[in-house]
Structure 1
Amino acid sequence: MVSALSRSNPKLVFIDGESFIMMNRIVKECVPTIQFIFSVKKCEDCPSFWSLLKKTKEIDIENGGSVNDAVMYISTSGTTGKPKDIILTSANMVSILTISRIAHRHSRKDVLLMVLPLFRGGGFMFSFMCLDQGATLVVENSTPVRHVLQSIDKRKATLMIAVPNFLYQMAKCAHTTHYDTSSLNRMICGAAPMPKYVADLAVKVFGATIIQSYGLSECMKITSGLDPDCPQTSVGTLNCNIMLKVIDLQTRKELGTLGKGELCVKAPQLMKGYLDQPGKTAQCIDSDGWFHTGDYGYYDSHGYVYVIDRITDLIQCGQAKLAPQEFDNILLSQHKIADAAVVGVPHEELGEVPVAFVVKKDANLTEEDILHHISDKMYLHNLLRGRICFIKEIPRAGYTKVQRKQLRESRLSDNIL
């Protein structure tokens, strides 16, 4: 938090009541630009957000600036390095909300349950979508699966935003609980590729429509899986006013249908750049305006887009590029495994080989059980023999992204988590 506040140098901050002491210390020691602190909850030590609203007067904003002026900064998760602040403009915001009205149309009767952090792109986007369309937003601060199921029952949520891993945990937990989730009619899933077994289980348990969505904080709402014929392994088709191409990782030349490479997009919601980091901006937005997403994927002849994995996570094993996310999904389909993640580590002959980190659901699970489960995947079976590590928890960022770098470093240092 201190880092984000120091980079943006705000004059005013909004907090919940419990954060006042910490924020007051930050103001005095680290971020002197902050002049006002308002609490959205009752707090004896600082004025409330509601008192600020009462003092607000109407102002003329007809000549308030350009559509390309910055209106918001969003911090990245920092999984590939230090967090960066994304600059969003007025034009970006209009585009995001316009696409949301088309791709995710809601009524005032809809109740959206939010478990994503609001300071990330997905949480921010869907909270503004509710404000724009008049739907009710319920922010769930507690992330244990049972608490979320209880909130669906209590609030009669009609829509939920989730990531595949969390959706899978919810579906498995719902089997053994008495909570009523029948109000759910749609579940929007993003942040990672959706395994078929997760979608199948979620539909069976909740009876809701699963809508896949793809985007990044730098460029939100790239695709939506609204078409009922959309394959479960696809993130859908492009939203309006968006262009996409796939380029070869080595030659950087554009590929055609089914060609696998880096996904690049042009869109009106594409960020203006990274705050005070023109070099980082130039690395991902080229001179022709194409944003290089860092995601590895392809599109088919029907225009459906498929995201396989992050390029930085691909395992270069001999001449083959292996996608750890695909391996994760194979392992997670074993009913005795609670969670799993695969990373690449250096190998003298092959360059890199996969190593699997597994969290047991059944204490009696053995390496042989796992190898038997993947016996029909001979390439994976042979590569993982002797390379399976049992750990207590898979490290993740913001409930979603596996911290593969942390896992890789723990393997290399033999400091297994």
Structure 2
Amino acid sequence: MSDERPWLEQYPAGVPEHIDVDEFPSVVAVLENAIDNYRDRPAFANLGKTLTYGEIDTLSSQFAAYLLGELGLKRGDRVAIMMPNCLQYPIATFGVLRAGLTVVNTNPMYTPRELRHQLVDSGAAAILVLDNFGHTVQQVLADTQVRKVITTGLGDMLGVKGKVVNFVLKYVKKMVPDYDIPGAVRFNDVLAAGRKHTLPKIDIDSGDIAFLQYTGGTTGVAKGAMLTHRNLVANMQQAAAWIGTNVKYGEETIITALPLYHIFALTANGLVFMKFGGLNHLITNPRDMPGFVKELKKTKFTAITGVNTLFNGLLNTPGFEDIDFSGLHLTLGGGMAVQRAVAERWKKATGSTLVEAYGLTETSPAACINPMDLAEYNGAIGLPIPSTDACLKDEDGNEMPVGEVGELCIRGPQVMKGYWHRPQETAEVLDADGWLHTGDMAKMDEKGFFYIVDRKKDMILVSGFNVYPNEIEDVIAMMPGVLEVAAVGVPDEKSGEAVKVVIVKKDPALTEAQVLEHARANLTGYKRPHYVEFRSELPKTNVGKILRRELRDHPAT
């Protein structure tokens, strides 16, 4: 199958078989190209403020100059960014990359336990954190190699209005817990300090690591996928070639509601639409659906990306039907399976087909996308995109024929370099021929469309985020009242899947409320169990391995 590519015959007109991965040597070159071509065009908007490509150029250069000139960071050093979508995000991200450093994207909702692991594992030398999450950083700082903390308020880039925003968040809405980090420096002071330095010419190699993008591990430990500049540029070129046949350069506005710390938004929105000279309209809190709809009513947008839960949430929010969709020509869904009912409702409400894509953190992320001219939802994850091969393998590594189920394997220039400092786990997913073993079981039809059938791994997919049972089990097992625990995914109408824990008690007095409270303290929102079930024993193999599949397929009645 790897020699035969039936999917090429299904490629829409204008989509090439291969992309030019060498057109841009780095992500920085993509940014500089956009700056040259679209300097006065709007690049990023958030909370009523818009920055042009020229302003992003100036501000990100200042941030980069600070990191090198004031902090003395060296090529390859890691800088963590812990924020929701706001204007500081692109400034800092491009600043880190322009300085020849590596971005460690960090979920701001992490608990101290999760954050500590990521900072220690990555060896991050500095972290930029939004004030709302400063208290979390404070709790773990002493255990890490972080030398400098940069703090910022949500309103810091908004001028006079921003001071009001910061005041309201802290004193009225009480959304900014107190914290005290000696030596921390404010974001705006960093930019001012950066102005005193000239950013030297930095040579960035295409093989340099641009992002350490953390993803769950089968051992319950999050691993950093090493995504190089070449990986990101390749995936940007692939996605741009696929969706760019009907875009207008310099005129697109894309709604970026998924967080930029998630690889989907980072590449599809941040990089692809930067190449197009488009405007990224950043949504800070998409969970506030009424506020999100209000924002959409004020914006004439042409594209939106999201996960199934986001689209479903919008469809069920009053006022959504009053939005002007006349400019919308691109809706891309990924991160989790798109449900047929949601896709059909979206098409009816907006006139735009919800096109499903498939990818992984390890593939930067896009691997398969459905044709953009698809008339309606087809249940497939799409076709392998340009310069990408896909095949299905059985347990012995043999390729499966058309219509047969096997593990989906991906090969292409977007496949990660490997896992940070984890050669053994890298070898488990990347074989000698360069195939990435995804852990997803799939089949291919005679036209080359791929369909996900099941997951080989026990991974749970909650609203597009990977949740690994081992991590949940390790956390719940910390409770003295727990003898044994297994975590599984159960179907959930809202999030696709939800986490359920099945527990054998050591202490008969242990309650569901105690379990949920413990999970709240140690796990970020999407990882927390929604369901707790107590049993007298767990199903096991004859060697004592817990049979999670049996718990999923045969729940207690």
TM-score normalised by L of structure 2: 0.54
Per-residue deviation, 1:226: 2.2
Per-residue deviation, 1:193: 2.1
1:131 match: secondary structure? helix
1:141 to 284, 287, 291: 284
Corresponding letter in the other structure for 2:357: S
Does the CA contact (< 8 Å) of 1:313 and 1:343 recur in 2? no
Does the CA contact (< 8 Å) of 1:295 and 1:309 recur in 2? yes
Alignment match, 1:50? 191
Change (3 A) 1:103 1:55: farther
1:256 match: secondary structure? coil
2:233 to 75, 85, 94: 94
1:208 to 322, 342, 352: 352
Change (3 A) 1:296 1:207: same
Post-superposition CA distance 1:354-406 (Å, at most 9, x none): xxxxxxxxxxxxxxxxxxxxxxxxxxxxxxxxxxxxxxxxx9x999x7x6x94
1:150 to 272, 283, 294: 294
User: 2:250 matched to 1:108?
Assistant: yes
User: 2:201 matched to 1:60?
Assistant: yes
Alignment match, 1:335? none
Alignment match, 2:150? 37
Per-residue deviation, 1:34: 2.4
1:244 match: secondary structure? strand
Count residues with an aligned counterpart. Answer: 343
Corresponding letter in the other structure for 1:244: A
Does the CA contact (< 8 Å) of 1:247 and 1:254 recur in 2? yes
1:117 to 259, 279, 298: 259
Q: State the distance in 1 between where 2:408 and 2:338 align.
A: 18
Alignment match, 1:360? none
Alignment match, 1:296? 441
Structure 1 stretch displaced more, 69-78 or 295-304: 69-78
Does the CA contact (< 8 Å) of 2:355 and 2:374 recur in 1? no
Q: State the distance in 2 between where 1:52 and 1:258 align.
A: 60
Q: State the distance in 1 between where 2:283 and 2:390 align.
A: 34
Per-residue deviation, 1:65: 5.5
Alignment match, 1:283? 428
Runs of 5+ in structure 1 lacking a partner?
Answer: 316-323, 333-337, 347-394
Change (3 A) 1:114 1:78: farther
Per-residue deviation, 1:26: 4.1
Does the CA contact (< 8 Å) of 1:149 and 1:179 recur in 2? no
Alignment match, 1:353? none
User: 2:293 matched to 1:180?
Assistant: no
Q: How does 1:218-237 map to 2 (within 5 A)?
A: 218-219=362-363, 220-229=365-374, 232-237=378-383
Alignment match, 1:391? none
Does the CA contact (< 8 Å) of 1:194 and 1:232 recur in 2? no
Structure 1 stretch displaced more, 237-246 or 140-149: 140-149
2:331 match: secondary structure? strand
User: 2:215 matched to 1:69?
Assistant: no
Post-superposition CA distance 1:128-169 (Å, at most 9, x none): 333333211122222133232222112233211111232123
Runs of 5+ in structure 2 lacking a partner?
Answer: 1-114, 157-165, 167-183, 461-487, 503-519, 538-555
Alignment match, 1:268? 413
Q: State the distance in 2 between where 1:75 and 1:265 align.
A: 19
Does the CA contact (< 8 Å) of 1:237 and 1:303 recur in 2? yes
Q: State the distance in 2 between where 1:270 and 1:10 align.
A: 23
1:170 to 314, 335, 345: 314
Alignment match, 2:126? 12
Per-residue deviation, 1:340: 6.8
Does the CA contact (< 8 Å) of 2:253 and 2:302 recur in 1? yes
Change (3 A) 1:211 1:341: closer
Alignment match, 2:340? 196
Per-residue deviation, 1:301: 1.1
